[in-house]
Amino acid sequence: MPIKFTDMEQTNTGGVKFTGDYFDEAIEYVQEKETTPIKFTETPIKFTRKQTPVYSGVLNYFPDAIREVAQCSYMGNQQHNPDKPLHWDRSKSGDELDALTRHLLEAGTIDTDGVRHSAKVAWRALANLQKEIERSNEEHTSPSEQSE
């Protein structure tokens, strides 16, 4: 059963806010108004600055979760690299999906170091995603671009 939208209004960030029913019609409306539609291809998609809303599309949605993941990152640095500046020591972080799954089994609880297992799941998911993107970028970079 589709969700019904009864009102559409332009937001101050250029988006559209929907209220009411008919979700499908809302999607069609957005697609009609979109000037540069995103096409899914096998090659990397180049997003414009406005299509990458880091603040309004991520940080603004999840401020408490982002803080929790940042604290998790700090605690991990203290555990694995005490007395060193905060950094991601990739030599000690290679099994993201296994570690993510171990913490996922404990989701909703606090680990022995005081950090939520769910924060560790999120950190490991971000680490895995970062590495996937880096591998993909390397695959799509020509040898001449790699040597520059």
pLDDT digits (tens, 9 = 90+) for 43-57: 666 778 888 899 999
Report residue 39 as tokens.
Answer: 């096409």
3-state secondary structure of 73: helix
**pLDDT score, position 100:** 96
Q: How far is CA 56 from the centre of its chain?
A: 13
pTM above 0.85, yes or no: no
Contact call for residues 121 and 72 (beta carbons, < 8 A) = no
**What is the identity of the amino acid at 141?**
T
For residue 50, what pLDDT is reported? 85
Tokens 């999120």 — which residue? 122
Read off the pLDDT band of 132 (50, 70, 90): very high
When mean pLDDT is compared over 44-48, 85-89, 138-142, the highest value belongs to 85-89
Q: What is the pLDDT of residues 101-124, one digit of tens each?
A: 999 999 999 999 999 999 999 999
- pLDDT, position 106: 97
How far is it, in rounded angstroms, from Cα 120 to Cα 115?
8
